[in-house]
Chain A
Amino acid sequence: MDRTLVDFVKVLRTAEIKVSPAETLDAMQTLNIVGYEDRQFLKNSLSIVLSKTPEEKEAFDSCFDRYFSFNKFKPEESEQESSDDQFDDGEFDQDAKGEAQPGGKGSGQASGQGGGEEASEEDQSLQPTSELGKLLLSGDRTELSIAMAEAGRQAEVNQIVVFTQKGLYTRKIMDAMGLKELQDEISELQSEGGRERQNLADKLKKARDRLREQVRDYVEKQFFLHADESGKQLREELLKKVKLSNLEKRNFKDVQEVVFKMAKKLISIHSKRRKTYKRGQLDVRKTLRHNMQYDGMFFDIKWKASKVDRPKVMCICDVSGSVSNYSRFLLMFLYSLAEILPKVRSFAFSSDLGEVTRLFDNSNLEDAMAKTMRDYGNGSTDYGQMLMDFKHQCMDDVNNRTTIIILGDSRNNYGDAKSEILREMYDKSKRVIWLNPEPKMSWSVGDAEMKKYAPCCHQVEVCNSLTHLERVVSNLLRYAY
């Protein structure tokens, strides 16, 4: 039984519900208390124990419904209604119906009775010999479902990843249920001839085809349960590592989702504002005020503390053709962090520099990006011009709390590098970080000026995938204190 629950927890995890081992243990304890009799009660209970946000609860509900659903074997035409109950109740309600139906497994001659009364009458002498054949004709659908689930487990159907594997797993499950013996039996019956034998063979064939359909259904369900989400995870992992310039427009939506997820993680890590206590420096005023309640005796001494400021980020992005994609995602990242990085000023350039902070404040990310590209995207790159513009526009706003991030490939079309301005920025600001999407080896090849710029930066990084971006931003938040 534990295995069922563990499997279920695994399903929950693929559906992005965070379930810790401790919570799994809680769930087991819950099972002991709640039991399996009442589905709704169990669902409510597990939902309370395992899912911890409204979104997770929603995901939980659909997972529960899908996971704990029974594959109904379609009743055969000749079957009586009564066996329906027996099937539904499964193992929980064995007493009443159990007597009415001796259940085809135990006594040899009784098998087949449950299936169809009139059929068994004429075939009295002829009974299928293979296990699966018996099972099929006995019409005990609970037993059949159990056999299928068991076979599914043997075939490890929960490892299914892509939809092309459906056929494979159907086959595997059928094999595990004993398809081969059934086939042998059918062909044997057919070759031997005789009306009764033919009849039985036909019946078995029909049952086999029906079973195959059921198994296919079952595999389909398992696929949705186990693979749908893990496929998505796979894609997301891939997106994180792929070079950003290779991304195509159709991927942007997925990437945006990934960026938001990463940003959320960063926010939760860094959302706490830290204080540094300067131990040794007495805060006289605070101590006096606080110790008034103790008749002015200094019991509780307060030290000076200063709140650590969030970095003031200025972000200068090259938006010319070759690097525009990187800029897009850097900006996306920074603006997703608005909660903990409230003061981001962004600038875009290819030759002339312009501030685009307003654009991002007033419209959504997509529109702002598009407008930025339209206004600044064309023209040949000129880093010298950019630095001069920056000096004119906002050198005065740079102070020792400002972090400047420059994103670009430093390909200056052989123009004047003007690295002395960057040096000035370096001196005035807290930090200058240069992110270059090109690999290190090509930093000084051709018209790239990285050699001149690098000494004027506190930090120079290769940055061409989301993982890189995440690392840079995380460091930005961590060491900004």
Chain B
Amino acid sequence: MKPSPSFAFEASAVYRLPLAAGLSKQGPFVTIKNHDRLTSVEVIQDNFEKRGYICNPQIATAVFLAYHLEKPILIEGPPGVGKTELAKTAAEMLELPCIRLQCYEGLDESKAIYEWKYGKQLLYTQVLKETLSEILEGAKGLTDSVAKLHEFGDVFFSEDFLEPRPLLKALKAEDSCVLLIDEVDKSDHEFESLLLELLSDYQLSIPEIGTIVANPDRKPLVFLTSNNTREISDALKRRCLHLYIPFPDATLESRIVHARVPDVPEKLRTQLVTFIQELREMDLKKVPAISETIDWARTLILLHTESLDSELVRQTLNVILKFQEDIETVEAEIQNVTNKALKQ
């Protein structure tokens, strides 16, 4: 992504803007660890690449903006394009802990935010029974004892008895963290609404204790992923940056394979990427994603392959295709597609 010098805006032309304020002047808003790895899109791309995650400018831009605008990213795209991987790599890059919340149907606040340690509360009430009578000694009448008890406040509903779940943990993390909320679309509508407070204000309310706010200088970097099995509500979308990761083009995919499976000779790599790209054009129930390409590359290495041939493809087809129907559809075309791949 090179800055193109020959470019101007029609509508903006009327206003004489000073050169838009660069980042260096504004300085980073947030001081999390290793924030220097987020100073520009190119830096992010480089840093991701060092960790084996090849990304296009859009992805890097999203991470860049998420950090500078302090907004969560909602990542959508077909399965296996590296949505979850992006969050994990970001955590690795910033050397922050990655707290992950896997969503599923029926997930509720006691699993996602906090829960009271009932057992502990129970145990303590039992143990403290005797202490209680000591405290109440000398109190006359019921009102007096109740007043005395009130002095102790809500001992059993304090943070000591609170079991933090991923979302709360992320808020309370000392040096910030990366919070990954995986497959939001699998959760219920109610859960989406639960997330809103966290996503817009980086805070959570617990009735018995109050509002817990993230350290304003160390807000967690939040990633949400969705496979689009259902429409995410507008309220949630509005609070997030939206990143769509499509299947990569041939060059990008080739680079990804190279980064992940460096042993693959270049010739084979071009062939297998072309083959996969061809498959994606076909009418399949589930087209192979990047993760399948990588698996296949590994398989071919294990089999000491130098170059694709149709017999080999036939035997290893089950690595890239996960439905019998698809395998049957492709088998008829193998010769054709392999030849195309070999021509490259």
Interface residues of A (CB under 8 A from B): 1, 3-4, 7-8, 18, 20, 22-23, 26, 29-41, 44-45, 47-49, 51-54, 57, 67-71, 85, 88-93, 142, 145-146, 149-150, 153, 268, 271-272, 293-295, 297, 299
Residues of A within 8 A of B58 (CB): 44, 47-48
Q: Say whether B142 faces chain A, with CB atoms less than 8 Å apart.
A: no
Contact B69 A33 (CB under 8 A): yes
Given contacts A48-B65, A54-B244, are A153 and B14 in contact (CB under 8 A)? yes
Contact B11 A48 (CB under 8 A): no
With A and B bound together, what is the CA distance between A392 and B230 in angstroms?
A: 41
Contact A38 B3 (CB under 8 A): yes
Residues of B within 8 A of A57 (CB): 244
With A and B bound together, what is the CA distance between A48 and B21 in angstroms?
A: 20
With A and B bound together, what is the CA distance between A91 and B9 in angstroms?
A: 9
With A and B bound together, what is the CA distance between A69 and B11 in angstroms?
A: 9
Contact A48 B12 (CB under 8 A): no
Q: Say whether B1 faces chain A, with CB atoms less than 8 Å apart.
A: yes
Q: Say whether B83 faces chain A, with CB atoms less than 8 Å apart.
A: no
Q: Say whether B241 faces chain A, with CB atoms less than 8 Å apart.
A: yes
**Closest chain A CB from B100 CB (angstroms):** 23
Contact A41 B57 (CB under 8 A): yes
Contact A37 B15 (CB under 8 A): no
Name A37's closest neighbour in chain B (CB-CB).
B3
- B11 CB contact (under 8 Å) in A44, A67, A293: A67
Contact B8 A91 (CB under 8 A): yes
Contact A20 B238 (CB under 8 A): yes
Name B238's closest neighbour in chain A (CB-CB).
A20
Please list 16 pairs of residues, one from A and one from B, whose beta carbons are closer than 8 Å in the complex, sorted by A's number.
A1-B17, A32-B21, A33-B68, A35-B21, A37-B19, A39-B4, A41-B61, A44-B58, A44-B61, A48-B73, A51-B242, A57-B244, A88-B6, A89-B8, A92-B8, A294-B118
Would you call the interface of chain A mostly helix, strand, loop, or mixed?
helix
With A and B bound together, what is the CA distance between A32 and B22 in angstroms?
A: 8
Within 8 A of A (CB), among B223-243: 230-231, 234, 237-238, 241-243
With A and B bound together, what is the CA distance between A313 and B195 in angstroms?
A: 35
Given contacts A36-B12, A51-B242, are A272 and B65 in contact (CB under 8 A)? no
Give the top 6 A-B pairs by smallest Cβ distance, nearest first.
A35-B20, A90-B8, A88-B6, A52-B242, A44-B61, A38-B3
Interface residues of B (CB under 8 A from A): 1, 3-17, 19-23, 26, 41, 57-58, 61-62, 65, 68-69, 71, 73-74, 76, 118-119, 122, 189, 230-231, 234, 237-238, 241-244, 246
With A and B bound together, what is the CA distance between A90 and B13 in angstroms?
A: 8
**Closest chain B CB from A27 CB (angstroms):** 10
**Closest chain B CB from A293 CB (angstroms):** 7
With A and B bound together, what is the CA distance between A145 and B12 in angstroms?
A: 11
In this complex, the member of A57, A70, A293 whose beta carbon has the largest number of chain B beta carbons within 10 angstroms is: A70
- A88 CB contact (under 8 Å) in B7, B23, B69: B7
Contact A91 B61 (CB under 8 A): no
Residues of B within 8 A of A3 (CB): 15
In this complex, the member of A23, A91, A295 whose beta carbon has the largest number of chain B beta carbons within 10 angstroms is: A91
- B9 CB contact (under 8 Å) in A29, A36, A40, A41: A36
Would you call the interface of chain B mostly helix, strand, loop, or mixed?
mixed
**Closest chain A CB from B321 CB (angstroms):** 24
- B65 CB contact (under 8 Å) in A33, A37, A92: A33
Contact B8 A38 (CB under 8 A): no
Residues of A within 8 A of B74 (CB): 52
- B57 CB contact (under 8 Å) in A4, A40, A71, A153: A40
Residues of B within 8 A of A37 (CB): 3, 19-20
- B19 CB contact (under 8 Å) in A1, A38, A88, A92: A92
With A and B bound together, what is the CA distance between A40 and B76 in angstroms?
A: 21
Given contacts A36-B20, A44-B58, A88-B8, are A150 and B14 in contact (CB under 8 A)? yes
In this complex, the member of B13, B21, B118, B122 whose beta carbon has the largest number of chain A beta carbons within 10 angstroms is: B13
Contact A39 B7 (CB under 8 A): yes
Residues of B within 8 A of A153 (CB): 14
With A and B bound together, what is the CA distance between A40 and B3 in angstroms?
A: 8
Residues of A within 8 A of B16 (CB): 91
Residues of A within 8 A of B71 (CB): 26
**Closest chain A CB from B120 CB (angstroms):** 10
Given contacts A4-B11, A26-B71, A44-B61, are A91 and B244 in contact (CB under 8 A)? no
Given contacts A153-B14, A294-B118, are A52 and B9 in contact (CB under 8 A)? no
Given contacts A33-B26, A33-B69, A68-B11, are A48 and B234 in contact (CB under 8 A)? no
With A and B bound together, what is the CA distance between A85 and B7 in angstroms?
A: 10
Residues of A within 8 A of B68 (CB): 33
**Closest chain B CB from A141 CB (angstroms):** 11
Contact B5 A1 (CB under 8 A): no
10 additional A-B residue pairs with CB within 8 Å, beyond A1-B17, A67-B11, A89-B6 = A1-B15, A4-B11, A4-B15, A32-B20, A34-B20, A44-B61, A49-B241, A57-B244, A91-B16, A92-B19
